[in-house]
Structure 1
């Protein structure tokens, strides 16, 4: 049992270290020696858990997707005031995670990295989540009549992923102030006039 616990700790340390390295260097420039060094484990331990860099990147994306889903669902459930408010809360929590959680940040970066083909499709998941939230808002009468849930989802996802991308070099783009500016502009258009 002790070996299993130690293996789980080592695996998590490797995922965290890989997220930091992928997040700063990108997939192509990240090296397994840099990752194992950052995790404080031998290259043999790294290869015991992950046969190659792609397997490690896939594990980071998977961990990022799990975290992103958990935090968006939790914030949506906790939001008071309906589906649009739940969407606002989920976007805010996700942008906080992108700014503060290296695994979530790396997951989004890896999904858009042109040097590899992502299987996790974190961007696709985010689009579906936002679209479903807006479809539910439509059903509950919270979306303006002339607003398509599909069109609104495209705008919200493009804006949030844009903030995520811009925030890679300037964290201010991922700040609560920028997210608030997004909603100050978008909510009056999404919500019914009354």
Structure 2
């Protein structure tokens, strides 16, 4: 999705109130820029993950939830892990360290009221993501897709060409980022919400 397409359609019903809060923040930054010349930069990050993430299976996002599911299945020697949907939806992920890098870059190189998408520029199917997580965790079983459960939005992908044209690109591959996140999970597992 390009930056200029923001707010051109209906909000996704399961995410509506979260989206409204984000939109209010964007509009506030634009108002500060217009009224006071304050360089308040609005970023639209893609799906974030990394050390310090929420791994609670009741309310976490897909990547940390998969790490937790595959880890627990490995510990319990389960033969399979169930994942909701078909595995075909596509998502984009960005490591939190890359987001921090993009924020610093934009603070030094951007002074416009227009929003900037921040992402990796790479998309992955949920089935591929599950394979990467299973490999990082060392899970040897199979994945079963519960097609009776919803897939969610078929594709969530940001157009990051504006940020790339400014000179910034993500540096942490999804495979390396998952390994990094799993290492953090293992080192902090005793402190995580169950």
TM-score, normalised to structure 2, is 0.30
Higher relative contact order (CA 8 A, sep 6+): 2
Q: Which has the higher strand share?
A: 2
TM-score, normalised to structure 1, is 0.30
Q: Which has the higher helix share?
A: 1
